[in-house]
Amino acid sequence: MRRQSRVLSGAGQSSWGRGARRGAGRPVSRQSSVALALLLLIGEFWGGTGAVQAAGPRVSGMLGGHPWSWGWNLGGQLGTGTRTDSTGPGAVRGLGAVTVVAAGTLHSLALTADGSVWAWGGNTDRQLGSGVSRRGSALPLRVSGLTHIAAIATGSLHNLALGADGAVWTWGSNAAEELGAVAVCAAPDKETCGGTPQRLTSLPEITAVAGGGIHSLALDAHGRVWAWGANRSGQLGTRAVCHHAMGGCASSIPVRIQGLPRVAALAGGGEFSLALTTDGAVWAWGANGAGQLGRAATLTTDCGPEACSIQPLRILGLPRIVAIAAGDDHSLALDVAGRVWTWGAMERASWAPVAGRRAAHPCGSA
């Protein structure tokens, strides 16, 4: 089952059908019906990050500070107390005033106004933060050990929380070191690895976090980007970390991404990463098999035979951008005029994508 895309930052949310695979290497503009902040509540399978922030009654999924959910519900990720799929919005049960929600593959997170974090849905990789138990929950459970949290983000099966003090906490799957260098995961007995949030001590003061499929991103107070976890396609911005025990490339130690101007926001895709700089430009690095870096899908830069780039590339053809988001293998950006731009995979779109062509509606809508 593949997912759609998700919001990284901004004030609003809207969504449409699944994106695609045939890469249109250049951005295509579409009008956003609600020009708020970038779309998409659920990202494509392995796909990227993000959280949707509450911004009043116009925002789908966030009416009056209470989250609503709909769609696939195999793991109970809708939070309605059942595991039955829903084609219409239903209120998530058992939560107070919510400021941010985020969605993983089969689990969901919420940040409440008092700075606490709640999780529900699948728990195969302990992504609910409930300790050694792998039992899921169709109702929200408070994640223990977290207080005064300012932001949250999800990967496919792992989570990140940013404290008001700039500290980063991680929990859930650590299949590719995406939790970072936490002592409990380095111990000989890793039974408790990922079961409860652990604070990362190898980062400077952080102002934003994002989760890719199985990698993680953080933005520090100086506008620098740090990445850790899986690196098969260069999503950590280097080919130097290829010593993972499972035979792939990964790093538990955060790697600073080189070659970027000062960054304001981040998004993580399946095996690629996006950065929005303070001048409104978008940069991308990592996998490019579907053109998600805004270049021809054959692009290879220091990544061996894979279509990818370890060097951040500026996305060409965009106006000034105010928010970004990433799915499994497609990218999105919201410009200052409220228009949404997309590039990357497009196989499930209801119209034939043409590079540079403008469409009046989002991909998959009438």
Q: Is 118 exposed, middle or buried (0-12, 13-18, 19+ CB in 10 A)?
A: buried
Higher pLDDT: 331 or 240? It is 331
Other beta carbons less than 10 A from residue 334's beta carbon: 25
Residue 181 is predicted with a pLDDT of 85
Distance CA 209, CA 154 (A): 9
Instruction: Enter the tokens of residue 1.
Output: 């089952």
pLDDT-derived band at 366 (thresholds 50, 70, 90) equals very low
Q: Residue 90 forms beta bridges with which residues?
A: 69
User: DSSP letters along 22-60, please?
Assistant: S-EEEEEEEE-SS-SS---BS-STT----EEE--STTST
What region, left, alpha or beta, does residue 280 occupy, with left being phi > 0 and alpha being psi -120 to 50 degrees? left
Residue 132 is predicted with a pLDDT of 82
> How does the average pLDDT of the chain come out, rounded?
79
Instruction: Enter the tokens of residue 327.
Output: 């799915």
Do 120 and 141 contact (CB within 8 A), yes or no? yes
Higher pLDDT: 170 or 66? It is 170
Torsions phi, psi of 334, nearest 5?
Answer: -110, 125
Residue-range domain boundaries for the chain: 24-344
State mean pLDDT over 155-162.
97
What is the per-residue burial (b if ≥16 Cβ within 10 Å, else e) of 84-97? Answer: eeeeeebebeebee
Residue 305 is predicted with a pLDDT of 62
Residues whose CB is less than 8 angstroms from the CB of residue 105 and which lie 6 or more positions away in sequence, other chains included: 3, 45, 46, 122, 156, 157
pLDDT-derived band at 307 (thresholds 50, 70, 90) equals confident
Residue 249 is predicted with a pLDDT of 82
State mean pLDDT over 263-268.
98
CATH number of this structure's domain 24-344: 2.130.10.30
pTM, whole model, 2 decimals? 0.83
State mean pLDDT over 227-232.
93
Minimal CA–CA distance to 161: which of 123, 194, 209, 213?
209
Residue 37 is predicted with a pLDDT of 32
Higher pLDDT: 223 or 45? It is 223
Residues 94-147 pLDDT 10s = 998 999 999 999 999 999 999 999 999 999 999 999 988 899 999 999 999 999
Residue 236, pLDDT above cutoff 90: yes
Residue 123 is predicted with a pLDDT of 96
Minimal CA–CA distance to 237: which of 282, 286, 281?
286
Unique residue bearing structure tokens 């249109």? 24
Q: Which of the given ranges, 194-208, 229-243, 351-365, has the highest pLDDT on average?
A: 194-208
Residue 320 is predicted with a pLDDT of 96
Unique residue bearing structure tokens 């978008």? 282
pLDDT-derived band at 17 (thresholds 50, 70, 90) equals very low
Instruction: Enter the tokens of residue 275.
Output: 């950065």
Residues whose CB is less than 8 angstroms from the CB of residue 100 and which lie 6 or more positions away in sequence, other chains included: 51, 52, 53, 54, 110, 111, 151, 152
Residues 174-208 pLDDT 10s = 999 999 988 778 766 666 789 999 999 999 999 99
Q: SS3 for 167-207, per residue?
A: CEEEEECCCCCCCCCCHHHHCCCCCCCCCCCEECCCCCCEE
Residue 239 is predicted with a pLDDT of 77
Distance CA 240, CA 112 (A): 39
Residue 46 is predicted with a pLDDT of 33
Distance CA 192, CA 54 (A): 33
Picking from 40-54, 159-173, 318-332, 336-350, which range would have the lowest pLDDT averaged per residue? 40-54
Contacts 24+ apart (CB under 8 A), 306-310: 306/232, 306/233, 306/234, 308/233, 308/234, 308/271, 308/272, 309/234, 309/284, 309/285, 310/234, 310/237, 310/238, 310/239, 310/285, 310/286
What is the per-residue burial (b if ≥16 Cβ within 10 Å, else e) of 261-291? Answer: eebbbbbbbbbbbbbbbeeebbbbbbbbbbb
Residue 172 is predicted with a pLDDT of 96
Residues 20-57 pLDDT 10s = 333 445 565 543 333 333 333 323 333 344 555 543 33
Residue 216 is predicted with a pLDDT of 98
Higher pLDDT: 208 or 294? It is 208
What distance lies between CA 112 and its chain's CA centroid? 19
